[in-house]
A = this chain, B = another copy of it.
């Protein structure tokens, strides 16, 4: 493993200062964040402990100075090891007041006359009981939506973040390259999933939080499925889509394979999504929009007889979550900026009930898209 772990304090300083510049422009005195990626973005606090729904965790970004952590005491030692100086803890779980009065005091202390921001828009949620959200708003103030500030920050990656993406995408590319040696007809889907998961880990990723896939005779109808005891047979198509992580940064790309043989329809559909990805790579430049990228890929799919798809978009941002803002849709219209890390994910129904989805990961550079995943073969691979 060559990639640097964690980030130096200057990374968090830069994130915080960029945030505070936006806050000043919008007259916001404090921002409250409470989800895992938001808290990690500003503090560096990194633990899977968030899977436990028991305790809320808060971070307050003041108009100037370092963020303040308001967290359960079980996290005090870990949070104190980050760049954060002001760590305020309470013993949680405490159902009658699970940090709310401590948090309210903190927000009142730092917000001054400024508005209080919280992400309230697309792709966000408040990870705390709704009862406590309402109580906090009643005690302190209504929130102003700052989804645009947070998404604007997180969509553009630093070189250190990009290196983590590059590392994990390389390792997962290696694992996909090994797949023909790992899989064979006669295995169950569950065995195939287990073999692939073990291989990705063997390559050196930290974890494989996201692994979906499916097999089917001549094609597959669903791309977010968990494995079954179905036995892989001659003529099956298989898709694996994985989000794996290094240091909490994701890869997210898929690969399609056929076993022993494939129909011309399947081969043509594969070629169509591969060509659509080429068009997406070409379109993905600073100054273009996500809608331009969508349109470029969609045109290729239409020409190739797509019957549509039910995914709702053709790729998205990538970061500390397996999907992040923005989305390549017909209406998203987010301006693409240098150092965004994005996926391209064109998909089509090539026959009723038969889907083909292709996905690559890239970073946007001044000159255009730079691949992070190793480009898939242009023709459907047959195992």
Residues of A within 8 A of B (CB): 1, 5, 46-49, 51-55, 72-78, 89, 91-95, 98, 118, 120-131, 133, 143, 145, 147, 190, 194, 197-198, 201-202, 207-212, 221-226, 228-229, 243, 310-313, 316, 321-324, 327, 329, 332
Chain B residues whose C-beta falls within 8 Å of the C-beta of A323 in the assembled complex: 51-54
Supplied contacts A47-B225, A125-B128, A130-B143, 6 more A-B pairs, CB within 8 Å: A48-B209, A51-B323, A52-B323, A73-B312, A130-B133, A207-B208
Q: Which among B77, B127, B190, B226 is the interface contact of A125 at CB below 8 angstroms?
A: B127
A122 to B92, CA, bound (A): 11
A48-B209, A49-B224, A51-B210 as given contacts; A129 in contact with B122, CB under 8 Å = yes
Chain B residues whose C-beta falls within 8 Å of the C-beta of A228 in the assembled complex: 5
Q: For A56, give the chain B residue with the smallest CB separation.
A: B125
Chain B residues whose C-beta falls within 8 Å of the C-beta of A313 in the assembled complex: 93
Chain B residues whose C-beta falls within 8 Å of the C-beta of A75 in the assembled complex: 224
Q: For A125, give the chain B residue with the smallest CB separation.
A: B127
Q: Which among B121, B129, B321 is the interface contact of A51 at CB below 8 angstroms?
A: B321
* Cβ contact within 8 Å between B122 and A95: yes
Chain B residues whose C-beta falls within 8 Å of the C-beta of A76 in the assembled complex: 310
Q: Which among B94, B145, B316 is the interface contact of A54 at CB below 8 angstroms?
A: B316
A5-B229, A126-B125 as given contacts; A92 in contact with B312, CB under 8 Å = yes
* Cβ contact within 8 Å between B74 and A312: yes
A125-B129, A129-B120 as given contacts; A212 in contact with B327, CB under 8 Å = no
A77 to B309, CA, bound (A): 12
A5 to B227, CA, bound (A): 10
In the complex, the 4 A-B pairs of residues with the closest C-beta atoms, listed nearest first = A73-B310, A52-B323, A77-B222, A120-B130
* Cβ contact within 8 Å between A74 and B224: yes
Identify which of A122, A190, A208 gathers the most chain B CB atoms within 10 Å of its CB: A122
Query: Can you give 8 contacting A-B residue pairs, CB < 8 Å?
Result: A54-B122, A72-B312, A77-B221, A123-B129, A126-B130, A129-B147, A198-B202, A201-B201
A91-B312, A313-B93 as given contacts; A53 in contact with B124, CB under 8 Å = yes
Give min CB distance, A115 to chain B, whole Å.
Answer: 15
* Cβ contact within 8 Å between A321 and B118: no
Chain B residues whose C-beta falls within 8 Å of the C-beta of A226 in the assembled complex: 46-48
A25 to B115, CA, bound (A): 43
A93 to B73, CA, bound (A): 37
* Cβ contact within 8 Å between B131 and A145: yes
